[in-house]
Structure 1
Amino acid sequence: MRTPVPDTHPRPAPGRTPGPRRLTYLGPRGTFTERALRTLPEADGSHLLPAATAARALELVHRGDADAAMLPVHNTVAGPVGDTMRALAESPAPGVLREAVLTIDFALLVRPGTPLAAVRTVSGHPHAGAQVGRWLAGRLPRARWLPAPSNAEAARRVRDGVCDAAVAGDFTAAHYGLRVLAAGIQDTAGAVTRFLLCARSGAPVLPPVRPADRTSLVGRLPGPPDTLGALLDDLRRHPFLRGVTLHTVPDGRGGSVLFADCPGSAEQPATARAVGLLRLRLPALRSLGSYASALPAPPPYERRPKTMHSETTTTAGEAAPKDIARLRELIDDLDRSLIGTLKQRLATSREIQRIRTGGGGTPLDSGRERSIRGRYAEELGEGGADLAEALLEMCRGRSPR
């Protein structure tokens, strides 16, 4: 007897007249997340609702005020989006319905009539800052970076006169009466951000577009990310977990959030085995469900057969030096960006010291320095406090020993 296929199409709740879907996204209007949402055919005819944060978007879904939420989860240059991962770990049982990817190109947006020389403050999402740091260090070395919940929120702050410029998509300018002062300011061309459309787990909001080929999990782990290296390395070496990708971000409470992507649908034996092993080793993980990937299929779980030839003489092995060279170029770009950012911080600290001493005060604020050490320690673990101390010494005008 043939097993009946379950109906995955949405049905209206009793007493409710079917109407347009309500899809929320990380807003306000003009974000890359909204742009990614609009690439989905399901967005046509739907009510699109901006949310100030990823946590707020998932809250709207959980309360039933929205059917699904589109959120950024990973960028190929800046890495995992911590706000989204923390929100997914905290939200009650979200599930992933769809995935979308978008190539990211940044522009510098200003109020009409603002020249580059007048830009003293620049705002944007922290992920945007990580992708344009070298450009800002070269063109605006004295400008102060002001993080914002989203790039569109940064543009709104520019419109309202809170800051001078915003890093956002060029399409954002029209929403806030701004103009593009410079386009294509990203340090690395071709960066891609991955977005997930999430709903309450098991909610049949959208029918599947094609068979699922990715399964994701999320959960909290004790200890900051820099203490989890041995655990994660052990998991990555396990033969059942080859092809699984693991990302960690600080949870803001001294612990970590882990996000895992497994190739295949949870109904496939190899994927079910991988998910079961992950949850056995890390009981706090919970599944976000299986869905169709918008990126090329991940590598399989099976171990590749070893070759008798050396890495320098085989075609497969030749990719390793190329990969290392490419990653080293990325590290060089990141280092240049960090150095530029540190120079901006140094100049800003010196200006604060000048203002304080000019008013008859002391150049240093011990309470402020304690707060900075605590922040670095919380985000970066035990070594973060040492890094903060070295940075503070440099900004005081003394090089760390």
Structure 2
Amino acid sequence: MPTRIAFLGPHATFTEQALLSLPEASGAELVPCAGSPAVLAAVRDGSVAAGCVPIENSVEGAVPAVLDGLLSDPPLVIIREALVAVRFALMVRPGTTAAGIRTVASHTHGIAQTRGWIAAHLPDAEVLLSTSTAEAAAQVARGEFDAAVAAPIAAEQHGLDVLTDDIADNPGAVTRFALVAPPGPPPAPTGNDRTTIAVTTQNRPGALLGLLTELAVRGIDITRIESRPIKDVHAEYWFHLDCTGHVAEPAMGEALAALHRRSSRVRFLGSFPRAGKAAGTVTESAAGPAVPLGESDPAGFAAAQEWLAALRSGSVA
């Protein structure tokens, strides 16, 4: 039997495009689900081996439902990620003109990324939300809405006409997708990896700084930090962190152990190959060059551990 992998459906979503770019999709049965929570639920109940969901957009930021869903039980971990350049088109049933559009629908992030264009070109249209961009296109095909904002492939899938292409307010937007599965041994380190964790800490001065310092002193780069409220505890938060490095590497291993000691709770959400950048790439910002990657070099940490062991044994000064 082929491996079953769920994704945010229906067919022709950006999520399906992302999944098809991953090696795990080769030969697998792809199972569309109505919403990211349904994808995560399918992985948890064992009806699929893995699931693909959007986790972050370069314009709108993280997807809250996915961040929150990853912290539910039973645990899930990210095993791979994919990047998809997001291109939106306005599509309608054949024969519909712009003047005839009274309703336009899309996923929350689709609407957010085309809000300016819609306001300028369809000022009288009612904007409605759908579970995905592709589902919005399907609803247009069924006559439920007049127009949809979706990927151009959705127009082909549902027999719609594209009235206008490339309508995003910020051209060049990219969405990051995560392939999640039940916990298991993480993919082997590649030298270009990302580790995702979530931590909570006591609400006292310097507590969060203390956690971040454990990463900084080991040369670990934090590429994203975001807070999400703990649903059953008032005024307390999970801090989601994306970091460069792999749990199998000494620097990351030491940091995770330190976070386990210092935080109220820590949830390991996966170490996996990083999409979109070559190993060892350093980006220079307006503030100046980035910290050299050598500071978190595994060989350097191994040498330091040998030196420390020699100190403890008294064989070196």
TM-score by length of 1: 0.63
Distance change >3 Å, CA 173–CA 82, structure 1 → 2:
same
Instruction: Tell whether 2:181 aligns with 1:214.
Output: no
> Alignment partner for residue 227 of structure 2, among 227, 230, 248?
248
Using the TM superposition, give the Cα deviation of residue 134 of structure 1 relative to its aligned residue in structure 2, in angstroms.
1.2
Q: Answer yes or no: is the 8 Å Cα contact 1:213–1:264 preserved in 2.
A: yes
Equivalent residues of 2:191, 2:280 under 8 A apart: no
Q: Which residue of 2 aligns with 1:273?
A: 254
Cα separation, partners in 2 of 1:243 and 1:196, compared to 1, 3 Å = same
Contact 1:76 1:193 in 2 (8 A): yes
Partner residue of 1:79 out of 53, 56, 61: 61
Instruction: State the shift of 1:237 in Å.
Output: 6.1
Structure with higher helix content: 1
Counterpart residue number, 1:52: 34
% of aligned pairs identical?
Answer: 38
Matched AA of 1:76: S
Listed one character per residue, the Cα deviations across residues 203-237 of structure 1 (whole Å, up to 9, x for unaligned) are 78xx75945621111367899xxxx9986566556
Is contact 1:217-1:287 (8 Å) kept?
yes
Partner letter of residue 177 of structure 2?
F
1:70 aligns to what? Answer: 52
Separation (CA, whole Å) in 2 of partners of 1:251 and 1:123? 31
Q: What letter corresponds to residue 246 of structure 1 in structure 2?
A: I
Identify which range, 64-73 or 118-127, moves more after superposition.
Answer: 118-127
Shift of 1:292: 0.7
Match of 2:128 in 1: 146
- In structure 1, list runs of 5 or more residues that go unmatched: 1-18, 301-315, 322-401
The answer to whether the 8 A contact 1:25-1:51 is kept is yes
**Structure 1 residues 14-29: aligned runs within 5 Å:** 19-29=1-11
C-alpha separation in 1, matches of 2:112 and 2:230: 19
Q: What residue is the counterpart of 2:105 in the other structure?
A: 123
Q: In the alignment, what sits opposite 1:42?
A: 24
Give, as a single letter, the amino acid of the residue that structure 2 aligns with 1:296.
K
Q: Which residue in 2 is equivalent to 1:262?
A: 243
Contact 1:76 1:191 in 2 (8 A): yes
Contact 2:83 2:177 in 1 (8 A): yes
- Residue 158 of structure 1 aligns to a residue whose secondary structure is helix
1:125-153 alpha-carbon deviations (Å, 9 max, x no partner)? 11112211111111112222212221112
TM-aligned CA deviation for residue 33 of structure 1: 0.3
The answer on whether the counterparts of 2:81 and 2:179 sit within 8 Å (CA) in structure 1 is yes
Question: Are the aligned partners of 1:77 and 1:188 in contact in 2 as well (CA < 8 Å)?
Answer: yes
Counterpart Cα distance in 1 of 2:267 and 2:92 = 43
Number of the residue aligned with 2:277: 296
Q: Partner of 1:286 in structure 2?
A: 267
Corresponding residue of 2:148 = 166
- Determine helix, strand or coil for the equivalent of 1:117: helix
SS in structure 1 at match of 2:71: helix
Q: In 1, distance between residues paired with 2:60 and 2:184?
A: 31
Q: Distance in 2 between matches of 1:195 and 1:122?
A: 25
- Cα distance change of structure 1 residues 320 and 145 upon mapping to structure 2, 3 Å threshold: farther
Q: CA RMSD in A?
A: 3.1
Instruction: Show CA shifts across 1:78-103 (max 9, x none).
Output: 10011211111114111111111111
Give the total of aligned pairs.
281
What do the CA deviations read for 1:299-350 (whole angstroms, capped 9, x no partner)?
Answer: 99xxxxxxxxxxxxxxx78x149xxxxxxxxxxxxxxxxxxxxxxxxxxxxx
CA–CA distance in 1 between the matches of 2:254 and 2:185?
A: 25
Shift of 1:264: 0.6
Match of 1:202 in 2: 184
Are the equivalent residues in 2 in contact too, given 1:94–1:198 (CA < 8 A)? yes
Q: Secondary structure at the match of 1:90?
A: coil
Would you say 1:101 and 2:83 are equivalent positions? Answer: yes
Shift of the 23–277 alpha-carbon distance from structure 1 to 2, 3 Å rule, reads same
1 or 2, which has the higher strand percentage? Answer: 2
Question: Given that residues 104 and 147 in structure 2 are in contact (C-alpha distance below 8 angstroms), is that contact kept between their aligned partners in structure 1?
Answer: yes
- Provide structure 2 residue ranges, at least 5 long, that are not aligned to the other structure: 289-317
Q: Greater Rg, structure 1 or structure 2? A: 1
1 CA distance for matches of 2:124 and 2:206? Answer: 40
Q: SS of 1:48's equivalent?
A: strand
Distance in structure 1 (CA, Å) of the matches to 2:15 and 2:241: 21
- Counterpart amino acid of residue 103 in structure 1: A
Counterpart contact for 2:55–2:62, Cα < 8 Å: yes
Q: What's the counterpart of residue 156 of structure 1?
A: 138
Indicate if the aligned counterparts of 1:263 and 1:299 stay in contact, CA closer than 8 A.
no
Structure 2 length-normalised TM? 0.78
Question: Structure 1 CA distance, aligned partners of 2:246 and 2:269?
Answer: 12
- Which digits, 9 at most, give the CA deviation of each residue in 1:348-372, with x for residues without a partner? xxxxxxxxxxxxxxxxxxxxxxxxx
